[in-house]
Chain A
């Protein structure tokens, strides 16, 4: 049974500038099985990030048609926190800053929510220290306000750290590779790859094929005008990068 089944998903987003709802997703179909790595590609505005937000339940997105089943449950009927506790994770491209909320406090709350149990401070510290070490995150992060004044690279590390703490069954990585220097890219994606051995599925949204040096998707999909228009293996990604999107979808 697939982990995630998306059928004919359509959604609108409220556009504050134009003061109206805009149709972004236009009938998305996608299946993801346990342990699979999918890569989602497409030009800017093709609907990749919108799909990610709609799956996580962003309040500005309204699903107008279609179904999404996650672990054989109706995902669309769940609140964002319920989706997260059920095992869905979104690594944000632009995570929100929350001034005054210490990173350590936040991480502990999130972990406890996901695991549905209280964790002792000592036990949590031990686990966290190990995971932070893997990603070369200094201890001083823990006392800082969440994402407040963080550099782009620091935010990406925080998103991957949470991925490792929360151990979702499906993680959507929304351009986690963008804005990273080559060393950070290598560090983060090698780590992400390594953790898929825990049985995790990935939906990687990216513009670039440079992550293919570290992680090999089982499937590559191309989005265009709010739909998945073509799917294939890793060779599709290579083709796009040599010939461009237009050639790939025609």
Chain B
């Protein structure tokens, strides 16, 4: 890698707009409406040709949003930058324009090359394509899925084509008044996935958001609904590790997962929004009898992230797992965590939260483990590991354990905050490995538990990305 490339690579996440120049064209901007009002909500619903109940839901949510205060668990300064009246809430589909791939600067293409991003995905990321061009491959996959009765489509189509199924689950895990941003999403939602796996069907390849035909790119107000029926199993992957530029300074999603009896459902997301973005996502899952739900949550980008994936274990024998990593660099703040509600006997949960703070970055773990009365024979293990790469960075842990049952309840919480061990670094250097590379190898080892759960190509991308983030870590 020559010096010029190195410079470009090291500036990933530092100055997207100037460097990458991915901006929507002005025509696009003007045709959308700024600010959120009843009229805008009606317009959104009308454009999408939605049934009356959905319009009513959106309007109700809008009123709820206006009524609700900002979340109180984090300092108010986080929200001070949001100007709701200046945001774009919706743009007509016909107004969509994409950058010409030929206009994408050479060095960005090189960055994608360096990350090993496939050609089609590059165009998608650069905003030059609404979807993968290699549709044929995915179309074939889609056919296979349809044969098994699997529904996998964008959420707007889900509402249009499977209204009854959609309505049964929609907003049942995340009610509109759950928090202010869930209310906002409920009023303005657009884009996301709708997935239904019929009883007993095991989908053996991970379903990825990119595979959706006619997918909207990751939306500002995405909404995803995944239902794994009895005995079904599925792994869904949202996002990607390559940097994603968004001119929207604000992203708020709602994700709802339903694992019926004996089902197995895993949701993996790695977000790497540009660092102008405030990222608030409400992720909630329910696990019925003997079902298993896993949230794999990677947070690399965004200026501030607030994400606390939750699992309600409502059936006997249900299991929940939340595994998260966060990388807070410079001005970034990763406020991540997990919530598990044990509402039935013989349930178990594991929460593993790993964070790396670097260059003044700040990470926190905010978690809740709640054991309701009657939920006997319960095990929960919480592990928080924080790694600080320098003295300017910060890590905090805010665990809450609320046990309301006294028969055979075993809740363990362990937390550690550490620096890179001098002995480990010295050991690697004594083998001829330069300091920066040695540091990276240790950090990479630290997140291995997460990386090994990813499909290979994602793990490789994650690995490279952390390396890029860490460039210049040695003074």
Contact = CB atoms under 8 A, between A and B. Distances in A.
A162 B427 contact: no
Interface string A162-204: 1000100000000000000000000000000000000000000
A144 B164 CA distance: 50
Chain A interface residue number, banded: 20 to 34
**Which DSSP category, helix, strand, loop or mixed, fits chain A's interface?**
mixed
Interface in B431-445: 431-435, 437-438, 441-442, 444-445
Contacts of A85: 432
Contacts of B426: 56-59, 80, 96
A56 B428 CA distance: 12
Given A90-B430, A113-B432, A114-B432, A106 B441 contact: yes
A-B pairs with the 10 shortest C-beta distances? Answer: A100-B445, A100-B448, A113-B432, A84-B432, A110-B431, A101-B445, A80-B429, A96-B423, A96-B427, A81-B429
A166 B431 contact: yes
B386 interface: no
A99 B431 contact: no
A65 interface: no
B431 A84 contact: yes
B430 A84 contact: yes
A80 B437 CA distance: 13
Interface in B400-435: 421-435
A109 interface: yes
B418 to A, nearest CB: 11
22 contacts: A57-B426, A59-B425, A59-B426, A80-B429, A81-B429, A81-B432, A81-B433, A81-B435, A84-B429, A85-B432, A92-B427, A96-B423, A96-B426, A98-B424, A99-B446, A99-B448, A100-B444, A110-B431, A113-B433, A113-B434, A145-B445, A145-B448
B429 A99 contact: no
Nearest to A86: B432
A110 B422 contact: no
A166 B434 CA distance: 15
Nearest to A91: B430
Contacts of A95: 427
Interface in A69-92: 79-81, 83-85, 89-90, 92
**Which DSSP category, helix, strand, loop or mixed, fits chain B's interface?**
helix
Contacts of B427: 92, 95-96, 98
A84 B433 CA distance: 8
B17 interface: no
B143 interface: no
Interface string A93-111: 0011111110001100110
Contacts of B449: 100
B423 A109 contact: no
A60 interface: yes
B446 A109 contact: no
A105 B423 CA distance: 19
A101 B435 contact: no
Contacts of A90: 430
Contacts of B232: none
A114 B441 CA distance: 17
A76 to B, nearest CB: 15
Nearest to A95: B427
Residue from the set B424, B427, B429, B432 with the largest chain A CB neighbour count within 10 Å: B432
B433 A59 contact: no
A105 B438 CA distance: 12
Contacts of B432: 81, 84-85, 110, 113-114, 166
